[in-house]
Amino acid sequence: MDLQNVWTVATKDFSIFTKKKSIMYSFILFPLLVSIGLPLVIHFVNVQSGGIPTAALVLLLNAFAFFFVIFAATLPVAIASYSLVGEKVEKSLEPLLATPVTDGEILLGKSLAAFLPSLVATYGGCAIFMAFIDNLTFSQLGYLYFPNWTMGVILLAVTPLVCLLSVEVNVIISARVNDVRTAQQFGGILFLPFVAIYVAGEIGLISLETNNLLIISAVLLFVDAILFFVSRSTFRREEILTKWK
């Protein structure tokens, strides 16, 4: 595999994304809203209730941290749908496939183009979130709550795996749909299981602590591996030119 080709494909997609206002808004506004909005909720509840009990505060912060997993499932959809369905709609895949670049290099380049900005936006939003939360809760807790092991597992294991899952699902969806919005709608469904986990955490059905997050990561790794082979078999030159409708 020629990594230079992979990077050329990825940077070309980056250049295109910077021209798409909807994508830029998603990648700037969405992280900002979440990273500032969630600490504001804590602040508002603190002010209204005269202070959240420490045990409840810790549960709430762990649940909020999981918000960034949902985030990681959602963000790549915006890019991956443009990256693959967009090229399909603009019929620009055929000339690209006519170059000496391999299918794997194109797929990896496009995956990176969706994966890296999503991860950067998630990490950026998370950094702001952690800074605000620490600032708000230090006086009550007496220590900096973030970063901690839970957030470490979320950022270093769960989030990248979820991003990858989202990209792979979009590759598979791209073979079946013909417009970017439909791809985004189908891709958006991916965040539902993670919302379900979040809600389960909020109502106390499961605890979103380090051990459980590691189990979730293991499951994601398994699903990612399976979907890698499915998406790889979907993204073949002949398949794209003759069967992608």
Partner 1 sequence: MTGDSSGVIEDIIETAHAVRRPSVIDAENLTKRFGSLTAVQDLTLHVDEGEVFGFLGPNGAGKTTTVRMLCCLISKTGGKAKIGDYEVGNSADSQKIRRIVGLLPENVGLYDDLSAYKNLDFYGRLYKCTEEQRRERIEYFLKMLGLWDKRNLSAGTFSKGMKQRLAIARALIHDPKVLFLDEPTASLDPEASKTVRDFILELKKEKRTIFLNTHHLDEAEKICDRVGILKTKLLAVGTPEKLRELLWGSKTVVQLEHVNDAIVAAVKRIGPRNIEIIDNKLVIDVSNPERENPDIVAAISAVGGRVQFVNEVSPTLEDVYLKLVRS
Binding span for partner 1 by CB under 8 A among 39-47, 63-71, 138-146, 233-241: 233-241
Which parts of 83-112 interact with partner 1 (CB under 8 A)? Answer: 87, 90-102
Q: Which is nearer to partner 1, 10 or 42 (CB)?
A: 10
Query: Could you say whether residue 245 binds partner 1 (CB under 8 A)?
Result: no
Is residue 42 a contact partner of residue 60, using CB atoms and an 8 Å limit?
Answer: yes
Q: What track of x and - describes contact with partner 1 for positions 18 through 57 (by CB under 8 A)?
A: -xx-------------------------------------
Residue with tokens 């790889």: 232
Q: What is the smallest separation between the CB atom of 228 and partner 1, expressed in angstroms?
A: 21
Name the minimum Å distance from CB 144 to partner 1: 43
User: In the complex, what is the shortest distance from the CB of residue 21 to partner 1, in angstroms, rounded to a whole number?
Assistant: 11
Kindly tell me the number of DSSP H helices and DSSP E strands found in the chain: 12, 0
CB of 10 to partner 1, least distance (A): 11
- Position among 47, 50, 242, 245 found at the interface with partner 1 (CB under 8 A): 242
H/E run at residue 28 = helix 21-49
Closest-CA residue to 109 (of 245, 14, 21): 14
Q: In whole angstroms, what is the distance from residue 157 CA to residue 217 CA? A: 6
Among candidates 201, 222, 196, 115, which has minimal Cα distance to 159?
Answer: 115
Let me know: does 130 contact 42? Beta carbons within 8 Å. Answer: no
Give the whole-angstrom CA distance, residue 164 versus residue 115: 7
Residues engaged in binding partner 1 (CB under 8 A): 5, 8-9, 12, 15-16, 19-20, 87, 90-102, 237-238, 241-242
